[in-house]
């Protein structure tokens, strides 16, 4: 059964060589594991299968089925690759989460007062940030996704506990 949620496992970069290979950035815990998830889908519905994969300095080099020359590879630059959520294993550790599983959770303080809703998880290079829309529906707030700011995540209960900022509790800075 599918719920339609897809997870981005990687992104195609520049063409590599003249035979259709591409640079591939993997978002999986073990980068080469991206090839083990089966067919990968693009945002527009195209499907690619990784035929071969090798490790380069800071990325992977992949040969994708049906991509046979540099021009075809070049046309795929910046294409994100997805799999259905159901194809992923359950998180292995209690404090391990898929970002998609956090989106939509209620954001509450330690007393259980509802402060807002998780809109997205971002990482701009310095760690994960949770984007929260406050209860008032106004501007969103970014909180570091670490134990100091988010001491508890309870996916089963549909909520995360945060140390609230002034903006989330509706006070002017």
Domain boundaries, the chain: 6-87, 99-161
Predicted TM-score (pTM) of this structure: 0.71
- pLDDT at residue 3, as a whole number: 58
- pLDDT at residue 2, as a whole number: 43
- pLDDT at residue 97, as a whole number: 83
Q: Is it the case that residue 19 has pLDDT exceeding 80?
A: yes
For 54-80, the pLDDT digits (tens) are 999 889 999 999 999 999 999 999 999
Average pLDDT over residues 146-160: 93
Higher pLDDT, 127 or 32: 32
Cβ atoms within 10 Å of 53's Cβ, excluding its own = 19
CB-CB contact of 84 with 47 (8 Å): no
In words, the CATH class of domain 99-161 is mainly beta
Reported confidence tier of residue 170, pLDDT bands at 50, 70, 90? low
Q: Is it the case that residue 1 has pLDDT exceeding 50?
A: no
What is the chain's mean pLDDT, rounded?
89
Element (H, E) at 12: strand 6-16
- pLDDT at residue 10, as a whole number: 94
Q: Is it the case that residue 138 has pLDDT exceeding 90?
A: no
- pLDDT at residue 117, as a whole number: 95
Longest Cα–Cα distance in the chain: 60
CB-CB contact of 94 with 36 (8 Å): no
CB-CB contact of 91 with 98 (8 Å): yes
Nearest to 24 by CA among 56, 47, 70: 56
- The pairing of strands 40-41 and 47-48 is antiparallel
- pLDDT at residue 136, as a whole number: 81
List the structure tokens of 117.
Answer: 């809703």
Tokens 């063409």 — which residue? 15
Cβ atoms within 10 Å of 6's Cβ, excluding its own = 19
CB-CB contact of 143 with 150 (8 Å): yes
CATH number of 6-87: 2.40.30.60
């Amino acid at each position: 059964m599918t719920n339609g949620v897809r997870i981005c496992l990687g992104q195609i970069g520049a063409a590599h060589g003249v035979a259709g290979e591409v640079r591939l950035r993997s978002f999986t815990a073990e980068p080469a594991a991206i090839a083990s998830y089966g067919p990968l889908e693009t945002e527009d519905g195209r499907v690619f299968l990784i035929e071969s994969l090798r490790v380069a300095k800071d990325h992977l080099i992949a040969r994708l089925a049906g991509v046979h020359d540099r021009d075809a590879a070049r046309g795929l630059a910046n294409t994100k690759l997805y799999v259905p959520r159901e194809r992923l294993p359950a998180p292995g550790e209690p404090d391990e989460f898929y970002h998609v599983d956090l989106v939509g959770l209620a954001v509450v303080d330690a007393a259980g007062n509802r402060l807002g809703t998780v809109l997205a998880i971002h990482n701009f290079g310095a760690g994960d940030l949770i984007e929260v829309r406050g209860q008032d529906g106004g501007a969103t707030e970014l909180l570091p996704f670490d134990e100091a700011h988010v001491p508890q995540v309870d996916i089963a209960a549909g909520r995360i506990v945060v140390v609230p900022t002034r903006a989330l509790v509706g006070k002017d800075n």
